[in-house]
Structure 1
Amino acid sequence: MNKQAQKGFTLIELMIVVAIIGILAAIAIPAYQDYTIRAKASEVLLAMSSCRTSVTEVFQSGNTLPGANDAAWGCTLGTDAATKYVQDLSVSAAGVITAKAAATGLGGTADGKVVSMAPSSDGATFTAATSGENVAGWRCGATADGTDMPVKYLPSSCRGNYP
């Protein structure tokens, strides 16, 4: 009698491979969903960055700071700044920039949440900037400034700490 070598995989081997793929998918899919929401939330920060430059120039000019949502801040505000993922953009009288995410589209618990950036005149700790001072940095994502976006959806540079 001639013995034939086994060809192919046994049922147990195939079941083990399917189980491993299932476990990997169960871990990867939620991580991927958070990643895509974080990528969409980065558009909210991108909308704020154009205002950040203008607000910095206003502080350094030494003039009296404009009022809240005043056109003198030099950036597009309100619903005029709206995009697919940004609903509204505003600047307070102290120069704190806030952007509200669109009510739908980002996903997860990020829809309709607010992200803020506050100017600082101190390079080591957060000291609010005043007119005539250089803006040394920006505090981004701090709840003290009004941010309510979940931290896991914010970029690492915008998680409430002084960058």
Structure 2
Amino acid sequence: MDCIELMIVVAIIGILAAIAIPAYQDYIARAQASEAVNLAGGLKGAVSEVYSQDGSCPSNAATSTTANGIGAPSTITGKYVASVTAAGTGTAAGGCTITAKMKSVGVSTGIQGKSLILTLTNEGGSNSWACTSADMAQKYLPKSCQGT
């Protein structure tokens, strides 16, 4: 009887592990991707200021020094984020973007090399930001980016 009880306990633990491990891995990837939102969010003020002053979008893509108060993409990094780039074409509706690119190593497999994009929208004088990703699976997006 003891052997059967032990086998049942082992089976239950196996089932729980089969469910918990993938959910935990998704949680870790989402936590790592939230660093991209934080670093990209740090540029919102500078991008909004330039856009509101002259209707253009600042770009740090082709610079190795500070441009419009925004450092070069390679200087805006984190433990999981490789670079943060400001770009876009300013229109009356907005159009400025801030793109955070995840590192290719040392990051959860599902988000390696993927990008998270903040896009500025002009709503009659006030700006709002939408968070999207063209290549990151929805399950890895931080809560502030899901559903947009």
On whether the aligned pair clears a TM of 0.5, the verdict is: yes
From 111, 129, 133, the counterpart of 1:138: 129
Kindly provide the CA deviation profile for residues 58-114 of structure 1, in whole angstroms up to 9, marking residues without a partner as x. Answer: 233x32425532711x33331011222111111113321011111112212210111
State the number of aligned residues: 137
**Alpha carbons of structure 1 residues 67 and 138: separation in structure 2 relative to 1, 3 Å:** closer
From 28, 33, 43, the counterpart of 1:36: 28
**Alpha carbons of structure 1 residues 157 and 67: separation in structure 2 relative to 1, 3 Å:** closer
Any gaps of 5 or more consecutive residues in structure 1?
A: 1-8, 123-128
| Paired residue secondary structure (2:110) | coil
From 85, 88, 92, the counterpart of 2:87: 92
Note the C-alpha offset of 1:121.
2.2
Contact 2:51 2:57 in 1 (8 A): no
Distance of 1:66 and 1:37 partners within structure 2:
30
In structure 2, the residue matched to 1:110 is 111
Distance of 2:26 and 2:101 partners within structure 1:
19
In structure 2, the residue matched to 1:54 is 46
In structure 2, the residue matched to 1:82 is 77
Note the C-alpha offset of 1:53.
2.1
Distance of 2:57 and 2:19 partners within structure 1:
49
Any gaps of 5 or more consecutive residues in structure 2?
A: 90-95
Note the C-alpha offset of 1:138.
1.0
Larger radius of gyration: 1
Distance of 1:27 and 1:45 partners within structure 2:
28
Tell me the percent identity: 41
TM-score (norm 2): 0.82
Contact 2:40 2:84 in 1 (8 A): yes
Distance of 1:23 and 1:66 partners within structure 2:
52
Aligned alpha-carbon RMSD (Å): 2.0
Distance of 1:50 and 1:114 partners within structure 2:
16
The 4+ residue runs of structure 1 with deviation greater than 3 A are none
Kindly provide the CA deviation profile for residues 9-63 of structure 1, in whole angstroms up to 9, marking residues without a partner as x. Answer: 7211121111101100110011101111111111111110110122222233x32
